[in-house]
Structure 1
Amino acid sequence: MGQINVNTRNTILLCLAALALAIVLGVLTARSITIPIIRITKAAEEIAAGNLDNRVDTTHFIEIEEIDTLEHSFDSMAGQLKESFETLEDKVKERTAELATANEEIIALNERLKKENLRMGAELDIVRQMQQMILPNAEELEIEGLDIAGYMEAADEVGGDYYEVLNTDGIVTLGIGDVTGHGLESGILMLMAQTAVRTLKEIRETDPVRFLDVINRTLYKNVQRMKSEKSLTLAILNYSQGRVSISGQHEETIIVRNGGEIERIDTMDLGFPIALDDDIADFISHISIELQPGDGLVLYTDGIPEAKDIKKKQYGLEQMCEVISKNWHLSAGEIKQAVIDDVRRHIGTQKVFDDITLLVVKRTGLALEEKLEPQAAALV
Structure 2
Amino acid sequence: LCFPMMYKNQLTGLFYLENNQTTGAFTAERLAVLTLLSTQIAISLENAQYANHLEEKVKQRTAQLAEANEEITALNEMLKEDNLRMGAELDVAKQLQQMVLPADSELTEIANLDIAGFMEPADEVGGDYYDVLVHEGRVKIGIGDVTGHGLESGVLMLMVQTAVRALLDSGLSDATQFLNTLNHTICNNTRRMKTDKNLTLSLLDYQALPPGPASLQQQGEEIARHPFLQKGGGGGILKVTGQHEEVLVFRAGGCVERIDTFDLGFMVGIEDDISDFLSVKEILLQPGDGVVLYTDGITEARNLEGELYEVDKLCAVISRHWQLSASEIQQAVIADVRQHIGKQKVFDDITLLVLKQK
Superposed CA deviations along residues 257-283 of structure 1, whole A, max 9, x for unmatched, are 112211111112222222233333332
Q: TM-score, normalised by structure 2?
A: 0.80
Alpha-carbon distance in structure 2 between the residues aligned to 1:73 and 1:108: 52
Q: How many residue pairs get matched?
A: 316
Partner of 1:206: 173
Alpha-carbon shift at residue 100 of structure 1 (Å): 0.8
Superposed CA deviations along residues 310-346 of structure 1, whole A, max 9, x for unmatched, are 3332222111100111111111111111111111222
Alpha-carbon shift at residue 360 of structure 1 (Å): 0.5
Superposed CA deviations along residues 160-184 of structure 1, whole A, max 9, x for unmatched, are 1111111212221110011122211
Note closer, same or farther for the CA distance 1:266–1:93 as it changes in structure 2 (3 Å cut).
Answer: same
Alpha-carbon distance in structure 1 between the residues aligned to 2:40 and 2:243: 85
What is the letter of the counterpart of residue 72 of structure 2? I
Alpha-carbon distance in structure 2 between the residues aligned to 1:70 and 1:195: 95
| Structure 1 position 313 matched with structure 2 position 307 | yes
| Percent identity between the two aligned chains | 56
Aligned counterpart in structure 2 of residue 131 of structure 1, from 88, 97, 102: 97
Note closer, same or farther for the CA distance 1:314–1:56 as it changes in structure 2 (3 Å cut).
Answer: farther
Partner of 1:24: none
Partner of 2:289: 295
Aligned counterpart in structure 1 of residue 199 of structure 2, from 202, 208, 232: 232
Preserved contact between residue 260 and residue 324 of structure 1 (Cα < 8 Å)? no
Partner of 2:164: 197
Partner of 2:111: 144
Alpha-carbon distance in structure 2 between the residues aligned to 1:280 and 1:71: 97
Aligned counterpart in structure 1 of residue 63 of structure 2, from 97, 104, 117: 97
Partner of 1:220: 187
Partner of 1:264: 258
Alpha-carbon shift at residue 192 of structure 1 (Å): 0.6
Spell out the pairing of 1:55-204 with structure 2 (5 A cutoff).
61-62=27-28, 75-141=41-107, 142-204=109-171
Preserved contact between residue 146 and residue 157 of structure 2 (Cα < 8 Å)? yes
Alpha-carbon distance in structure 2 between the residues aligned to 1:60 and 1:229: 93
Partner of 1:375: none
SS in 1 for 2:105: coil
| Structure 1 position 344 matched with structure 2 position 338 | yes
C-alpha RMSD of the superposition: 3.0
Alpha-carbon distance in structure 1 between the residues aligned to 2:33 and 2:182: 96
SS in 1 for 2:327: helix
Note closer, same or farther for the CA distance 1:198–1:79 as it changes in structure 2 (3 Å cut).
Answer: same
Alpha-carbon distance in structure 2 between the residues aligned to 1:212 and 1:67: 104
Note closer, same or farther for the CA distance 1:175–1:68 as it changes in structure 2 (3 Å cut).
Answer: same
Alpha-carbon distance in structure 2 between the residues aligned to 1:254 and 1:238: 16
Question: 5+ unaligned residues in a row in structure 1: which ranges?
Answer: 1-39, 41-52, 365-380
What is the letter of the counterpart of residue 188 of structure 2? K
Note closer, same or farther for the CA distance 1:56–1:238 as it changes in structure 2 (3 Å cut).
Answer: farther
Preserved contact between residue 245 and residue 286 of structure 1 (Cα < 8 Å)? yes
Alpha-carbon distance in structure 2 between the residues aligned to 1:60 and 1:129: 98
Alpha-carbon shift at residue 105 of structure 1 (Å): 1.1
SS in 2 for 1:120: helix
Alpha-carbon distance in structure 1 between the residues aligned to 2:47 and 2:263: 80
Alpha-carbon distance in structure 1 between the residues aligned to 2:131 and 2:70: 51
Superposed CA deviations along residues 183-229 of structure 1, whole A, max 9, x for unmatched, are 11111111111000101111121223322222222222222222222
Please identify the structure whose Cα radius of gyration is greater: 1
Alpha-carbon shift at residue 75 of structure 1 (Å): 4.7
